Structure 1
Amino acid sequence: MNVEYQKYIDVIDRWIVNRSKTVILAFLVLTLILSAGLGMTATDSGTSQFTEGVPAQEAFDDVNDNFEQQPFTEGTGTTTLIQQEQNVLAKQSLVSMLKAQHRLEQRPSQHVAGTNSFAQIVAQTLDSEATTTEAQIRTLEGAGRSEVKQTTREILEQQPSTAGLLSNDLNRKDPSASATLATVTHQVEGLSSGSSAGTQGTSPLTPIQQEAEFVVGSVGSDITVFGSGLISAELSSVISDSLILVIPAATLLIFIFLVIAYRDPFDLLVGLICIGMTMVWTFGFMGWANIPFTQMLITVPPLLLAIGIDFGIHAVNRYREERVEGINPTESMETATDQLLPAFFIVTGTTVLGFAANLVSDLGPIRDLGLVAGIGIIFTFLIFGIFLPALKLFVDTKREKYNLPSFSIAPLGSEDSSTGKVLSVGVTIARRGPYVFFALILISTAVMGAYGTGIDTRFTTEDFLPPEESPDYVDNLPDAIAPSEYTVTKNINFLEDKFESSDSDTVTVFIKGELQRDSRLEELYRINSDPPDSFVESGSRADATSILSVINQYKRTSPEFAALVNRNDINDNGVPDKNLGRIYKELFSSSYADRAGSYITEDYSSTRIVYSVKSDASQEEVTADTQMVADRMRMSATATGSVVVTKAVSDVIAESAYISLALAILASAVFLLIAYWILEQRPGLGIANLVPILLTIAALAATMRYLDIPFNVLTGTTLSIGIGLGIDYSAHLVHRFSEEYRGSVELYDALAVSVRGTGGALAGSMLTTTSGTGVLVLAIVPILGQFGLLIALSVLYSFVASVLTLPTTLVMWKRGGDHLKKYRIIS
């Protein structure tokens, strides 16, 4: 080891073995300070956090702010009532819906500003003076069944747009439908028009809609309350329910494996104290740094457990290797920390780089995950690399002083143990056929990597919601930990199945420019010709709604306005070419002002065009075609709409995944080269360190594609995180090998000792980590289950790859170095 570097290790060693009480006290004080941040941690469970900063979303927000016509202004929110009956158009069902609306109106706490339903339309058609829900109820109750049916039939014939409030199984001739929707608008102080579920884990509409469930339930009809407030509540509760399920299961499994690994209650207690401190430090830091707790950060505790347990087992195991030789505790600990601190430093550096690679993501929650996890790993290094040895030495000293009982101090993976024999398989392969096996490693990595490039990318709100049907194991849980009954996903699926979704069948081009300039409307007209394949056509043009649609509507009702347009239509195509400012002014001073305001701002600086798209067109096709249309504009134009935003986020996820992976590999390679050059003057060991990691990443990517697990906001981080966790295993083995392979020690003897000694600790760490992270499959949210599975697999693959392939890789490193020396390429 480099002497200059060793002196710093010696300083830390002396503090650990000679001033253990001071070290322990200092860490306890830091724990107390950071614990104060636990109460400052907020929660953000919404999905809007993933679209912040995405250009398509910003344009979508601008469209909503400038053009979406609401019956009420700033400070309003809506609740949807979903009624399901054998026939919601039957007289009694219509009355039940009106009663639900009326009872909500009578509750001051509901702040009802207005309601809208098909039942209201029927009642007001029967009696135009029935302007209140109370009067509408009387009107319907006084009407005959045949009269109600005939009125309903006439409404559907004369006002076809009202069918949008009814399910798609509507029978128009003999009016009947199995479901209908009503909208309740609430005037709520402090609620912005852009409020959505998930702001800091709650929505101002949450208590209103929860109360609405109780009120509507008193009607006695099958009416369900649905809205952003209830979505927000379920997004929040699903986090706590997932933690309630995951933490006890992880704790139990980890405890069992730690008992097996440590086989000593004192060592077990020391390890658990360090794990607890790591959590307090990390989440206390989040509070001090004002980083909210999101769904993604549920993954941090299992990840820190993975690294912490690994460090703990290695520290205790290496210490025991010295103790079984009869060496006293102080010298044993000094030897253990002298060897492990550099290894821990390498592991920490590469792991932090793996997480930090996510800081380049354009998605804020992914950046937060990279930051919090990276800081947590540094805390883990400090606690398990310095505090644990000091506490372990202090405890063992007291045990000897007070003659406390001594338990097993045998290290894992000793030479004669069955574990040691199994772990030595890789050494045997390296001894007998390294060239063939190394070629097989390279070919396997290439094949699996190529197959893994076909991973799909998806982003949907449903990723963060509980499944419609709870897993079977949930039904068998005690009431104390059983999760809540979730309804949001069921309601979303019902709405998608039963009602036409105009939002998903349209896209928008948002345009900015000086729209009063000559020929601007001609440009809007021009881009609608020759529509792309995914757009619905009307004649040879795109089926679009814009300010031109409003102009044409007003022309049909106003001869004066029609004459004004015609005078300014140079090429006689119905589109005015000049004096546009006057045309807009006339439009905004007419009864069509509200409609005009839906498509152009009053300062004539922004407009939108809404296109109908084919329902069977893919997300990729719709997005590409909308962008192509936007690119036709000479003015600034942005493709947007829910489909485009979703695709944009999916693209960011995929881009982040691959960029983070590339950065993690590159940064880890550079770090390992420098680290091994400084520590051992053997930079080539850094490259050898990467071989099993590349195999692991390729296998993980291939597994994702085979199991049809897509890149989403969480699984998209697994490849770069897999590097951070995987290098943990190879770095420990390579560093132990570099320590053993010195002087006259034979190559294969050094490999055998390294694999049996460090490999034993790695086996214990792998079992504990895979169980600790694997329990995320119990989380209610499917996205967390996928992430837990992938992290557990990455740890398993890393362990197997390290134990099996590193001996062969190190043999190739040694022989390659010998060849270079032979031909005097290196000295």
Structure 2
Amino acid sequence: MRRNPLQFVVGFVTDHSRITIAVMLLLTVVAGAGATMIEAPPDQQLASDAPAQEKLDYISEQYDTGDSDVETVSVYVRDTDGNVLSKGALVDVLEYEQRIASNASVARSLADGRGTTSVAGLVGARLAGDPSASAERRLTALRSADATEVRSAVRATLASDSDGLSLMPASYEPRTASAESTRVVVHFAADARSDAGTEPEAVLHRAALSESDGGDREYFMLTGPATEDFGKRTVVDNLELIGPLALLLILLTLAFAYRDLPDLLVGMTGVLLTLVWMFGLIGWLGVPFGSAGIVAPILLIGLSIDYGIHVFMRYREERAASPDLGVRSSMRRGLRGVGVALALVTLTTAIGFLANLTNSLGSIRQLTLATALGVVAALIVFVTIVPALKVELDALLDRLLGDRNIPPIGAAGGRLTRFLTAGVTAARISAVGVVLVAVVAGASGAYASTELDRELGTYPDEPADWKQDLPDPVGIEEYPFLERNSYVRSNYRATGADYSPAQILVEGEVTDPETLERIDTATARLSDSEAAYRRADGSVPIRTPLTVMDRVAARDDSFASVYRAADTNGDGVPDRHLERVYDALFGSAPDQASTVVERDQDGYRSVRVVVPMRQSSDDRDVAATMYGGAEPIDEAADLSATATGDSVIREVQGDRLTSNIFATLVVSLVAIVALLAGIYRLTEGRASLGVVTVLPVALVVTWVLAGMWLLSVPLTMFTALMISLAIGLGVDYSIHVTERFAQEFGAVADPFQALETTVVGTGGALLGSTGTTVGAFATLSLATFPGLRQMGLMVGLALLLSFVASVFVLPSLLVLWARAVGLDAGTAASRATGAAEGTD
């Protein structure tokens, strides 16, 4: 009889185990060498083809949004018990600016003529009587002025219409001389800073730390080295706390599953080799691997542990059934029995992840490829070198210690056996009832999926008190960065070269008489939003063509006359001759005009509305505010208004993330159904068996979504991956049960008897695998990163639900399937004859 490729591999591995080990170790070295060639992923933007992104790109090209060749970095100065606008504080700030400017690296990187901007510098220039006064003259003027003169200069500098207000927190009252914080803005030339790397910001960071050490005021940054230091610290803290605990739980659960130290060591060797192969294949094939890819090895650890347990438990079953068979023959039979399932699991799990190639988020696509390669690596390792090592080690130990016939999980009877066979017992009572309960639960999950919150990322949390009380090195101290970041987000407007504020681009006939009136209506609506950044006096510093015109008219009588003449009803808003008004605005203040009005050789093409938002505002609230503000403008026949900005685009990303998840779900399920239907049509003569195998997977996905809703877990990039995990692992578990059932039903006529053998043998292996992986991922619930906690929670939930669906629901589906296709004792007998021909 001609053997299939799997039988050939199994036969070679068990008969020539030493050759297999030598060849696989050599190939592992070759494959692992590829890890040195892993490339970082390119920057990709999920919403790059969305209208909001297109309009934002258009604005950056057509409008004066700042110096494109200048990058800004903010240093915050805070004194919650004092006054950062006092003479002493302002002198300290100017001295800090002088110190950083005297550093060679910083000096080379500063933008020409810009240097630093601060309230201290503006007040010093006012006291010196020269806006262009040097830093030394400003400091001298500040030092020589008395406290009364400084207070007067501060009040005049920070008037209601002053640009200096952007350096102050929202709580600051204009024209007062007291505040608890301010910020210094350092202007770097983009090219020079790029050449200098991170050193200029590092100088600022070190100077801020030095200034804060022992001083009355704290200086801090929230970018560059400050963020990097915070990130490194949180990673180390989490690893020190979670790593040992995760390893301990894995070893404890594996000890329960294997109950044998040699098996435990061989299994963990297989896990390590799988990771080496995965990273090697990623490098050789040029698959980009970024920060999101860290999920891949975590998932592969769980999957490879699962593979190992199935191989070892089936081997133990064969040895227990035929004690005289010997090590090699037992492994040959066991690997043949489980090998088909492992191959199918690899194919379907890879498909489940590869379906994410439809995702618009580049990091998810890269992670998808990495994980799919890892799944293939796991199959290679656990059907070759792992069984070969097991054969050699058991043969040696049997010679030294005698027969080591260890029973598989669940085979000893008692409560564990009764637990594993509960699904078969329920199927005997009412298979239809079990399926109906499962379907009703799934329907609730489908509804829950529409109610999930969405997030694209978040900072870690402050460690709980008990974590801070732990001894070093596992104890975690508080993170000053988090409190400072929260303060700034609550009190300051976002700035910086990489920040794009919420805004509305108005295109079309912008010289139409109604244009500015509609913008005025939109401005009033936007100002009422709770998401908008509000000063202490309650005003929202929105920038529109009207606000710019008001400021220019206040100092330019010539423009003011044109501005007022265009207002026919006295409401302060021009409603005629808008082209003449725009012309006068560009004639009087071209730099200011170009920030809100677009002009080319053909006339006026667009205008824009810029709305400062509280940094702590939710992206969904910001987007809703901007969409609402665009409505009164967009209703005009000759105008179109598009909301854009970072928050709006992130909300678009969230919408796409949601739609991509369901597209992935449909694509992966359809592909897996087609694959399994085809395979079971060839191997069992029943394509419908493949469909039945996938049904529990669809249930698991909906159950996971219901669990996310019940546990208030938002939809993030990481939790989105759990959908793929639910499909991949759900199919994994279902295939193992179905494939074992098909084998057992080939030898007996009673489907319940076949199912009992299946859930005790294969179900026991699934229990060990589930316990091990859930235990490992459960430790992530201790992480300070919400994303990691959520991922750990969802992986554990997906695994538990996959186990429940496979061991307690799938048996009822298989019973109903057997009845529906009319399998009888005669059919079973003929199948048993065919099965016997393939045994040893």
Normalised to the residue count of structure 2, the TM-score between the two structures is 0.84
Shift of 1:32: 1.4
SS at match of 2:188: strand
Once residues 207 and 600 of structure 2 are traced to their aligned partners in structure 1, the CA distance between those partners, rounded to angstroms, is 37
Partner of 1:168: 170
Partner of 2:147: 145
2:770 aligned with 1:766: yes
Once residues 45 and 205 of structure 1 are traced to their aligned partners in structure 2, the CA distance between those partners, rounded to angstroms, is 25
Q: Deviations over 1:201-245 (max 9, x none)?
A: x96765344333344336824233214313355345544554454
Partner of 2:274: 278
Once residues 798 and 170 of structure 2 are traced to their aligned partners in structure 1, the CA distance between those partners, rounded to angstroms, is 46
Superposition pairs of residues 688-703 of structure 1, within 5 angstroms: 688-703=692-707
Pick aligned residue for 2:486 from 473, 481, 493? 493
Shift of 1:404: 5.3
Residue pair 1:54, 1:649 contacting (<8 A) in 2 also: no
Pick aligned residue for 2:301 from 299, 305, 317? 305
Partner of 2:202: 207
Partner of 2:215: 220
Shift of 1:328: 1.3
Partner of 1:318: 314
Q: Deviations over 1:719-769 (max 9, x none)?
A: 232111122112111111110001443211111100101111111001001
Once residues 217 and 42 of structure 2 are traced to their aligned partners in structure 1, the CA distance between those partners, rounded to angstroms, is 29
Partner of 2:679: 675
2:345 aligned with 1:344: no
Q: Deviations over 1:167-197 (max 9, x none)?
A: 333355763222222212234646469x9xx
Partner of 2:18: 21
Q: Using a 3 Å threshold, how does the CA distance of structure 1 residues 472 and 733 change in structure 2: closer, same or farther?
A: farther
Partner of 1:782: 786
Superposition pairs of residues 122-141 of structure 1, within 5 angstroms: 122-129=123-130, 131-141=133-143
Once residues 262 and 723 of structure 1 are traced to their aligned partners in structure 2, the CA distance between those partners, rounded to angstroms, is 27
Partner of 1:231: 227
Superposition pairs of residues 29-428 of structure 1, within 5 angstroms: 29-41=26-38, 56-57=52-53, 59-64=55-60, 67=63, 69-70=65-66, 74=69, 76-85=71-80, 86-111=82-107, 112-113=110-111, 114-129=115-130, 131-157=133-159, 159-171=161-173, 175-187=177-189, 189=191, 191=193, 207-217=202-212, 220-229=215-224, 230-235=226-231, 238-239=234-235, 241-291=237-287, 293-324=289-320, 325-326=322-323, 327-400=325-398, 403=400, 407=404, 409-428=406-425
Once residues 268 and 357 of structure 1 are traced to their aligned partners in structure 2, the CA distance between those partners, rounded to angstroms, is 34
Q: Using a 3 Å threshold, how does the CA distance of structure 1 residues 206 and 699 change in structure 2: closer, same or farther?
A: farther
Residue pair 1:566, 1:576 contacting (<8 A) in 2 also: no
Structure 2: gaps spanning 5 or more residues: 530-539, 826-840
- Read off the aligned partner of 1:222 and give its amino acid letter: R
Once residues 480 and 66 of structure 1 are traced to their aligned partners in structure 2, the CA distance between those partners, rounded to angstroms, is 54
Once residues 294 and 242 of structure 1 are traced to their aligned partners in structure 2, the CA distance between those partners, rounded to angstroms, is 19
- Read off the aligned partner of 2:463 and give its amino acid letter: S
Residue pair 1:278, 1:380 contacting (<8 A) in 2 also: yes
Q: Using a 3 Å threshold, how does the CA distance of structure 1 residues 404 and 57 change in structure 2: closer, same or farther?
A: farther
SS at match of 1:14: helix
Partner of 2:799: 795
SS at match of 1:714: helix
Shift of 1:559: 7.5
Q: Using a 3 Å threshold, how does the CA distance of structure 1 residues 126 and 207 change in structure 2: closer, same or farther?
A: closer
Q: Using a 3 Å threshold, how does the CA distance of structure 1 residues 546 and 204 change in structure 2: closer, same or farther?
A: farther
Residue pair 2:230, 2:481 contacting (<8 A) in 1 also: yes
2:621 aligned with 1:618: yes
Q: Deviations over 1:300-335 (max 9, x none)?
A: 222111111111000011011111221112211111
Deviates more, 1:558-567 or 1:226-235: 558-567
Q: Using a 3 Å threshold, how does the CA distance of structure 1 residues 162 and 533 change in structure 2: closer, same or farther?
A: closer
2:434 aligned with 1:437: yes
Pick aligned residue for 1:718 from 695, 715, 722? 722
Once residues 566 and 529 of structure 1 are traced to their aligned partners in structure 2, the CA distance between those partners, rounded to angstroms, is 16
Shift of 1:69: 4.2
Q: Deviations over 1:663-684 (max 9, x none)?
A: 2222222222222222222222
Partner of 1:825: none
Q: Deviations over 1:558-588 (max 9, x none)?
A: 68778999999999956657799xx76x876
Pick aligned residue for 1:736 from 727, 734, 740? 740
Residue pair 1:770, 1:792 contacting (<8 A) in 2 also: yes
Q: Deviations over 1:227-271 (max 9, x none)?
A: 431335534554455445444332222122222222222222211
2:452 aligned with 1:455: yes
Shift of 1:7: 1.8
Once residues 560 and 619 of structure 1 are traced to their aligned partners in structure 2, the CA distance between those partners, rounded to angstroms, is 38
Q: Using a 3 Å threshold, how does the CA distance of structure 1 residues 219 and 448 change in structure 2: closer, same or farther?
A: closer
Pick aligned residue for 1:661 from 660, 665, 671? 665
Q: Deviations over 1:518-556 (max 9, x none)?
A: 876768648637649953489xxx997456765776677
Partner of 2:608: 609
Deviates more, 1:24-33 or 1:156-165: 156-165
SS at match of 2:717: coil
SS at match of 1:270: helix
Residue pair 1:550, 1:592 contacting (<8 A) in 2 also: no
Once residues 14 and 206 of structure 1 are traced to their aligned partners in structure 2, the CA distance between those partners, rounded to angstroms, is 62
Once residues 700 and 85 of structure 2 are traced to their aligned partners in structure 1, the CA distance between those partners, rounded to angstroms, is 60
Q: Using a 3 Å threshold, how does the CA distance of structure 1 residues 106 and 744 change in structure 2: closer, same or farther?
A: closer
- Read off the aligned partner of 2:96 and give its amino acid letter: A
Alignment size in residue pairs: 795
Q: Using a 3 Å threshold, how does the CA distance of structure 1 residues 158 and 536 change in structure 2: closer, same or farther?
A: closer
SS at match of 1:600: strand
Once residues 483 and 634 of structure 1 are traced to their aligned partners in structure 2, the CA distance between those partners, rounded to angstroms, is 59
Residue pair 2:72, 2:187 contacting (<8 A) in 1 also: yes
Residue pair 2:156, 2:175 contacting (<8 A) in 1 also: no
Q: Using a 3 Å threshold, how does the CA distance of structure 1 residues 543 and 80 change in structure 2: closer, same or farther?
A: closer
Deviates more, 1:450-459 or 1:528-537: 528-537
Shift of 1:419: 1.8
SS at match of 1:466: coil
Q: Using a 3 Å threshold, how does the CA distance of structure 1 residues 244 and 510 change in structure 2: closer, same or farther?
A: farther
Deviates more, 1:592-601 or 1:18-27: 592-601
Shift of 1:405: 6.2
Residue pair 1:323, 1:329 contacting (<8 A) in 2 also: yes
Partner of 2:838: none
- Read off the aligned partner of 1:592 and give its amino acid letter: P
2:761 aligned with 1:757: yes
- Read off the aligned partner of 1:251 and give its amino acid letter: L
Shift of 1:445: 2.1
- Read off the aligned partner of 1:427 and give its amino acid letter: V
Q: Using a 3 Å threshold, how does the CA distance of structure 1 residues 173 and 522 change in structure 2: closer, same or farther?
A: closer
Once residues 149 and 327 of structure 2 are traced to their aligned partners in structure 1, the CA distance between those partners, rounded to angstroms, is 95
Residue pair 1:356, 1:374 contacting (<8 A) in 2 also: yes
Once residues 237 and 633 of structure 1 are traced to their aligned partners in structure 2, the CA distance between those partners, rounded to angstroms, is 55
Shift of 1:50: 5.8
Once residues 501 and 467 of structure 2 are traced to their aligned partners in structure 1, the CA distance between those partners, rounded to angstroms, is 39
Q: Using a 3 Å threshold, how does the CA distance of structure 1 residues 73 and 718 change in structure 2: closer, same or farther?
A: closer
Deviates more, 1:49-58 or 1:310-319: 49-58
